[in-house]
Amino acid sequence: MNDSDKIRLLRDMIFYRRFEDRCFEAYVERKIGGFLHLYSGQEAVATGVLEMANVGVGEKGDYVITGYRDHVHALKAGAPAREIMAELYGKETGSSRGRGGSMHIFDPTANFMGGYALVGQPFPLAAGLALGCKHKKTNQIAICFLGDGANNQGTFHETLNMASVWNLPVLFVCENNGYAIGTHIDRSTAQTDQYKRVDTAYNIKSSQHDGMDIDIVMEEAKKAVDYVRNEQKPYFIEFMTYRYRGHSMSDAKGYRTKEEEAEWEKRDPIKILSDRLIKSGALKQADIKKMENEIHDEIENDVIKFAEESPEPDVADLNKYVLDDNPDPRWIGPLK
């Protein structure tokens, strides 16, 4: 990968960090309501993995699916930032027409299949997407991102077993940030190395890597993506990472220490890549400052402006996207 690609990736990650910081601010201003789970600290995982996949090419590309911490995955998959922000604002122009909110970003034109509130829900859906790819022989794969906590759900075990038995082209990406809400992984999970839970039990190849260094993420993700596509088999890749903010906006982080946070922040994914690019002479500190300013302006003058100025959904449309011609007689139809 050449310097200009690395600079583009740095720009992506700075954009994602600022996007999320701006979400935080808009939430405090009560412009955004409901649940809001931010991804700051974990950017190298979604950015690096999806850089190695076939995304941003519309419906011929790979499928991407994840849980509720979903903004950055959707952005990197190619969903427009404006529409994601408008969704968070509950506006009609949002990616789910303002009906879904933060946890339910969905963009079929980017093959971004959501955005799910229920922990573990995307596992079987990812297997279904992969089964479709296999049947249609399209050479697409499904990429399922989920947290460490999700691996204690029944859906994880059921899906990994089926994916292995049926040789489904699905890449499971475990974002191990050490916590499920306020519960440290040591208190919830017998085998804390997630990749060890799948190789023997489900006969799926698996590995564990640093998730803070995007160069490592890309190198390992490339091998995993190629394996899934070429062998038509699942792979489970685990990245060790950290979320800087609380689980959601209502979390004061009382369960962890400032020292622990500071240790992880030393290995910030944006810092690692920018230091490397400065050291190699590809960028100067002033170039990064300029990039940050441009991103700041783009988010204010385009993304936020679009969300603020977009209309609210019309109350008359309350039932518009609710199934209302379901032939099942038990279906009572839309509320009158």
Ligand X SMILES: Cc1ncc(C[n+]2csc(CCOP(=O)(O)OP(=O)(O)O)c2C)c(N)n1
Stretch that binds ligand X, among 83-91, 145-153, 263-271, 313-321 (CB under 6 A): 145-153
From candidates 12, 62, 148, 268, binder to ligand X by CB under 6 A = 148
> From the list Mg ion, ligand X, none, which binds 6 (C-beta under 5 to 8 Å, kind-based)?
none
Residue 56 Cβ vs ligand X, minimum distance, rounded to whole Å: 24
Q: How far is the CB of 176 from ligand X (least distance, A)?
A: 8
Q: Give yes or no for residue 118 binding ligand X (CB under 6 A).
A: yes
The verdict on 147 binding Mg ion (CB under 5 A) reads yes
User: Nearest approach, Cβ of 258 to ligand X (angstroms)?
Assistant: 19
Written as one string, the DSSP assignment of 191-220 is S--GGGGTHHHH--EEEEEESS-HHHHHHH
Under rule CB under 6 A, how many of the chain's residues touch ligand X? 14
Quickly tell me which residue has 């919830």 as its tokens: 188
- What gap in Å lies between CA 131 and CA 127, rounded to an integer? 6
Q: Which two tokens stand for residue 176?
A: 């191990």
Nearer to Mg ion, 111 or 194 (CB): 194
Q: Does 119 bind ligand X (CB under 6 A)?
A: yes
In the complex, residue closest to Mg ion by CB: 147
**Which amino acid does the sequence have at 184?**
H
The residue from 10, 125, 142, 150 that contacts ligand X (CB under 6 A) is: 150
Residue 23 or 119 having the CB closest to ligand X: 119
Do strands 183-184 and 179-180 pair parallel, antiparallel, or not at all (unpaired)? antiparallel
State how far the Cα of 165 lies from the Cα of 234, in Å rounded to an integer: 10
Question: Helix, strand, coil shares of the chain as percentages rounded to 5?
Answer: 50, 10, 40
Nearest CA among 118, 9, 25 for reference residue 65 = 118
Degrees, nearest 5: CA angle 246-48-197 = 70
What residues from 294 to 323 belong to the interface with ligand X (CB under 6 A)? none
179 binds ligand X (CB under 6 A): yes
Instruction: Name the residue nearer to ligand X (CB basis): 232 or 248.
Output: 248
Count other C-beta atoms under 10 Å from residue 40's C-beta: 21
Instruction: Decide: is 177 part of the binding site for Mg ion (CB under 5 A).
Output: yes
Q: Which is nearer to Mg ion, 179 or 306 (CB)?
A: 179
Binding residue (CB under 6 A) for ligand X from 147, 211, 234, 269: 147
Cβ proximity of 252 and 246 under 8 Å? yes
Binding interface with ligand X (CB under 6 A): 69, 117-119, 146-150, 177, 179-181, 247
